[in-house]
Chains A and B, each alone.
Chain A
Amino acid sequence: MMGIFVETPGILTTIQDLGRGGSRSLGLNPSGAMDRNALRLINILLGNDESEAALEFHFPAPTIRFEADAYFALGGAEFDARLDGVPVPNWFCHGASRGQMLHFAKPVLGARAYLAVAGGFDIDPVLGSRSTNLAAGFGGFQGRALQAGDRIGIRGTVNRRQYPKAFVSSSLIPRYSRFPTVRFMAGPEFRLLTAISEQELFTKGFVIAADSNRMGFRLKGARIHLLHPYELPSSPVDLGTVQLLPDGGLIVLMADHQTTGGYPRLGNVLQVDIPLLAQLAAGDGVGFHFVSSNEAEQLLFASEREIDLFRVGRQLAAI
Chain B
Amino acid sequence: MQIYPLSESSLIVEFGTVIAEEFDLLSLALAQHLENEPFPGFIEAVPAYTSTGVFFDPVTVRKSFPDSESAFSLVSGLIEQIAARMEVSDDRVQRTVEVPIRFGGADGPDLAELAEARGLSETEFAKIFLSVPYRVYMLGFLPGFAYMGEVDGRIAAPRLATPRSKVRKGSVGIAGRQTGIYPFESPGGWRLIGRTDLELFDVGRHEPSLFRAGDRVVFVDI
Where the two chains meet, the residues of A that have a C-beta atom closer than 8 Å to any C-beta of B are: 21-29, 126-127, 133, 135-139, 185-188, 232-241, 258-261, 265, 268, 270-271, 293-294, 296-297, 300-301, 304
Q: How far is the CA of A301 from the CA of B57 in the complex (A)?
A: 11
Bound together, the chains give a CA A240 to CA B8 distance in angstroms of: 11
- Which B residues touch A133, using CB under 8 A? 143
Chain B residues near A25: list those with CB within 8 A: 31, 44-47, 139, 212-213
Q: Given the interface contacts A136-B142, A258-B141, A294-B70, does A185 sit within 8 Å of B49 by beta carbon?
A: no
B8 touches A271 (CB 8 A): yes
Asked if A265 meets B31 with Cβ closer than 8 Å, knowing A135-B184, A136-B143, A260-B48, the reply is: no
In angstroms, Cα B61 to Cα A297, docked, is: 11
A135 touches B51 (CB 8 A): no
What residues of B have a CB within 8 angstroms of the CB of A235 in the complex? Answer: 12, 14, 48-51, 53
B17 at the interface (CB under 8 A from A): yes
Query: How many interface contacts (CB-CB < 8 Å) are there between A and B?
Result: 155
Q: When A and B form their complex, which 9 residue pairs have the shortest distance between CB atoms, in order from nearest?
A: A236-B53, A260-B140, A233-B49, A188-B4, A27-B139, A26-B209, A268-B7, A293-B5, A28-B143
Nearest CB on B from A124, distance (A): 11
Q: How far is the CB of A141 from chain B (nearest CB, A)?
A: 15
| B142 touching A127, Cβ below 8 Å | no
**Contact of B8 (CB < 8 Å), options: A29, A259, A297:** A297
CB contacts (< 8 Å) of B139 on chain A: these are: 25-27, 259
Report yes or no: B4 in contact with A236, Cβ–Cβ below 8 A.
Answer: no
B186 adjacent to chain A (CB < 8 Å) = yes
Given contacts A188-B14, A234-B48, contact A270 B141 (CB under 8 A): no
Q: How far is the CB of A135 from chain B (nearest CB, A)?
A: 6
Q: Does B208 count as interface, using CB distance less than 8 angstroms?
A: yes
Chain B residues in 8 Å Cβ range of A238: 6-7, 9-10, 53, 55
Decide if A232 touches B17 in the complex (CB within 8 Å).
yes
Q: Taking the complex as formed, is B190 at the interface, i.e. its CB lies under 8 A from any CB of chain A?
A: no
Q: Are B44 and A24 in contact (CB under 8 A)?
A: yes
- CB of B14 within 8 A of CB of A234, answer no
In the assembled complex, 18 residue pairs joining A and B whose CB atoms fall closer than 8 Å, in A order, are A21-B43, A26-B201, A27-B141, A29-B143, A135-B143, A187-B6, A188-B14, A233-B18, A235-B12, A238-B53, A238-B55, A258-B140, A259-B46, A260-B53, A271-B7, A294-B70, A294-B72, A297-B8
- Is there contact, CB below 8 Å, between A260 and B6? no
Q: B138 in the interface, Cβ–Cβ < 8 Å?
A: yes
Complex contact B69–A26 (CB within 8 A):
no
Query: Which chain B residue lies CB-closest to A236?
Result: B53
In the complex the two chains form, is B62's CB within 8 Å of A301's CB?
Answer: yes
Contact B6 A234 (CB under 8 A): no
The answer to whether B50 and A135 touch across the interface, beta carbons within 8 angstroms, is: no
B48 and A268 within 8 A (CB) = no
Which residue of chain A lies nearest to B72 when distances are taken between CB atoms in the complex? A293
- On whether the beta carbons of A270 and B138 are closer than 8 Å, the reply is no
CA–CA, A184 and B55, complex, Å? 18
Question: Which chain B residues lie closer than 8 Å to A126 at the CB level?
Answer: 203
Whether A23 and B184, one on each chain, are in contact in the complex, defined by CB atoms closer than 8 angstroms, is no
Complex Cα spacing A297 to B74, Å: 13
Chain A residues with Cβ below 8 Å from B143 are 23, 26-29, 133, 135-136
Within 8 A of A (CB), among B139-158: 139-147
Q: Contact at A26–B6, with CB atoms within 8 Å?
A: no
> Residue B59 at the A interface, CB < 8 A?
yes
Asked whether A236 lies within 8 Å of B48 as measured between CB atoms, the reply is yes
Contacts of A265 on B, CB cut-off 8 Å? 6, 12
Contact A185 B184 (CB under 8 A): no
Does B10 lie within 8 Å of A236, measured CB to CB?
Answer: yes
B58 at the interface (CB under 8 A from A): yes
B71 within 8 A of A: yes
Q: Is the CB of A27 within 8 A of B12?
A: no
Known: A25-B44, A188-B4. A233 touches B50 (CB 8 A): yes
Nearest-neighbour CB distance to chain B for A138, whole angstroms, equals: 5
A264 to B201, CA, bound (A): 28
